[in-house]
Structure 1
């Protein structure tokens, strides 16, 4: 699939200003509608066996915990044309943020996430200060005709607080960006199948090869 570039320089300026000002940005849509549609069809056509139960922690600290999260994931790969188109778009995004914010973003990893009916992910952070090279988190939602009553909202909390500063409905095409270390967040219980792509821009770690 050939990438269809939708974000403009003005859009990147807006995102960078929001990140610099408050550390996060929520956009009703970022990507071209054709790309959103292709990604939605791609994730809907995956078999149940393509997904794996998500856990908490990485590498030797990885464990499953039903009280913390109940979603399933599948990593995007470069050998699928639709996955590659999205990853190429995120490469453009990475360069745009580096030009504006001098963040030193080096690469990007992303997975499809499926929240079945009743699934959730309790309040957590994507990176602990000094312990991870994940710097900037992204979420793209792939849920047509989502209703507030369907649940599955993303709650973004103020740092070191239980105050919800943003509640995001997982509407089709909505794109969220936030600083990985700064914002605890939560996915509340979903009452229908919920799909998204979660991704992380990372700094260079000379001891770890890029996942993508």
Structure 2
């Protein structure tokens, strides 16, 4: 049985400092390998349920080409991950008074040639997303396979973040970012910590 408590090895002080100074933070070796492998398997098992993310209500978006599956109780291992994020949100609330009370998340798959153009997750504060997170779940990745997260920090400096397995990126949802074209299958959980007036 995989533990469901907040991972004690996460350096929350470092996370808070990096978010405060730069607007983003990178965490490597997020989980023990037993849980990481099981989570990867859960995602792969559901691949046939993924749908094109660029199609919303019949309208095709041309800025993204990935495929996603929104998470619910049918993915219990992924649910543990979102529970950890909600616990992290409480830490953010104590430090930054963000009012986070909800996490929305989906599995994401970028196949060969797929990407997501430059965007913000909370453009002009039109939704309740406060913090964005991306957790990489593929079991192997090489630097020349692309799929990097290109992110502009609070000081308008650009960063290229390689999607290494078992790595998570946490960043302010207002920051500009993009997913560069992937050359291999790239798997992740993308999640947003929200301050909804009414929890779903």
Measure the CA separation in 2 of the matches of 1:152 and 1:91.
26
C-alpha change, 1:20 and 1:160, in structure 2 (3 Å) is closer
C-alpha change, 1:158 and 1:18, in structure 2 (3 Å) is closer
Give CA-to-partner distance per residue, 1:142-200, whole Å, 9 cap, x none: 12220111111110024696x5x21111111110000001x111111111111011000
Measure the CA separation in 1 of the matches of 2:17 and 2:147.
28
**What residue number does 2:60 align with?**
64
Q: Secondary structure at the match of 1:129?
A: helix
1:16-55 correspondence to structure 2 within 5 Å: 16-48=16-48, 50-55=49-54
Measure the CA separation in 1 of the matches of 2:13 and 2:154.
24
Q: How many residues align?
A: 200
Moved over 6 A (4+): none
- The answer to whether the Cα contact below 8 Å between 1:69 and 1:122 also exists between their aligned partners in 2 is yes
Measure the CA separation in 2 of the matches of 1:160 and 1:20.
11
- TM-score, normalised to structure 1, is 0.85
Measure the CA separation in 1 of the matches of 2:64 and 2:155.
21
Unaligned runs of 5+ residues in structure 2 are: none
- The answer to whether the Cα contact below 8 Å between 2:25 and 2:170 also exists between their aligned partners in 1 is yes
Q: Secondary structure at the match of 1:100?
A: helix
C-alpha change, 1:13 and 1:197, in structure 2 (3 Å) is same
**What residue number does 2:116 align with?**
121
C-alpha change, 1:64 and 1:160, in structure 2 (3 Å) is farther
- TM-score, normalised to structure 2, is 0.89
- The answer to whether the Cα contact below 8 Å between 1:12 and 1:97 also exists between their aligned partners in 2 is no
**What residue number does 1:78 align with?**
73
- The answer to whether the Cα contact below 8 Å between 2:23 and 2:154 also exists between their aligned partners in 1 is no
Pick from 175, 197, 201 the counterpart of residue 189 of structure 2: 197
Measure the CA separation in 2 of the matches of 1:196 and 1:157.
20
- The answer to whether the Cα contact below 8 Å between 1:13 and 1:100 also exists between their aligned partners in 2 is no
